Amino acid sequence: MKTRITELFGIEHPILLPGMSWVAEPEIAAAVSEAGGLGILACGHLLPEQTREAIEKVRSLTDKPFGVGLTLLYPTARQNAQIVAELEVPVVNFSLGKGEWLAPMIHQYGGKVIATVINEKHAFAAQRNGADALLVTGHEAAAHGGDVTSLVLIPALANKVDIPIVATGGFGNGQGLLAALSLGAEAVAMGSRFAASKESPVHERTKQAIMDKSAPDTIYTDRFDGINCRVMKTPGAEKSIAIGESVPKNQLAGHAMNAFKSLSLAIHDGDLDEGVQLIGQVQGLIDDVPSCADIIKRVMNEVEQTLSRINGLMEAD
């Protein structure tokens, strides 16, 4: 399939692994890129030297295009960006910050910039500041989705911006990819779906919980890390939010340090009694743990099957 996104990033399939902290590690990022998608290595939470090592590790595993994700809220974001530029990483995705300084730095060596946005104001600002594409995040998403669902947010923005859109939030299969394309996006990023893949470092117990939980089993709250955020509905999440509720709003950002600990417990220890797992509503559509290559193959097959089903409907009298 050819879209402005596949052309921009030089990839075969319009499918991205988003830069999920502690999940989008070198092995899984390389697996998605090797399979013809774009793996985005999460570097936001890493120290500069760890960022260098992680990028070099991806390069040792694949010679296909890949990206890095920089969460600008983290204190090392600018230092990490310097390393990304020095190593000439092909694609840079930034989130949770303005990033107006980033595009000139990345364009200098021919890299591409994709800005994560949740509304029109952020989308216009990112386009003005030189982003080459947008990662538009709907309400269904794991972590920091906006107020508006993907179904409405994607076409609302696609009609107004000139740069191509990658849709994220609620996409986990071929029907979803086809829907995103219909809405005006030119690729999807699948966070929760790849978090439950063979190459994902998420603990087996937490992967099992993703398969067991249904679509409504999530909580969307600003009382976890201070920003509206979607997490899996578990005892650990309910405890963490109860503590957050007693933290004054202006101190919630400090509370985010506790949030890191909770995230690590869920991802690395499979502890959902104390830990918190970021997850999207699409968990309700996930019931297996295939390899990244199998996920991508399956999604592209589902696109073809769904298209022929719809063509059949069009042809019927």
Ligand X SMILES: Cc1cc2nc3c(=O)[nH]c(=O)nc-3n(C[C@H](O)[C@H](O)[C@H](O)COP(=O)(O)O)c2cc1C
Where does this chain bind ligand X (CB under 6 A)? 18-21, 23, 42, 44, 69, 71, 95, 116, 137, 140-143, 168-171, 190-192, 195, 278-280, 282
**CB nearer to ligand X: pick between 75 and 313:** 75
**CB nearer to ligand X: pick between 8 and 23:** 23
**CB nearer to ligand X: pick between 216 and 312:** 216
**CB nearer to ligand X: pick between 63 and 288:** 288
Please give the span between the terminal C-alpha atoms of the chain, in angstroms, as a whole number.
Answer: 29
Please identify which residue in the block is written with the tokens 């890299």. Answer: 111
- Least separation, in Å, of the C-beta of 186 and ligand X? 16
**CB nearer to ligand X: pick between 63 and 273:** 273
- Least separation, in Å, of the C-beta of 134 and ligand X? 12
Amino acid type, 45: H
What one-character-per-residue DSSP string does 160-214 give? T-SS-EEEESS--SHHHHHHHHHTT-SEEE-HHHHHTSTT--S-HHHHHHHHH--
Count the helix, strand and coil residues of the chain and give each as a percent rounded to the nearest 5.
Answer: 45, 15, 40
List helix spans (H) across 62-119: 77-86, 102-107
- Least separation, in Å, of the C-beta of 246 and ligand X? 25
- Least separation, in Å, of the C-beta of 100 and ligand X? 18
- Least separation, in Å, of the C-beta of 314 and ligand X? 29
Minimal CB distance residue for ligand X = 191
Find all residues with CB under 8 Å of 111, minimum gap 6, and list them: 84, 85, 88, 89, 90, 91, 92
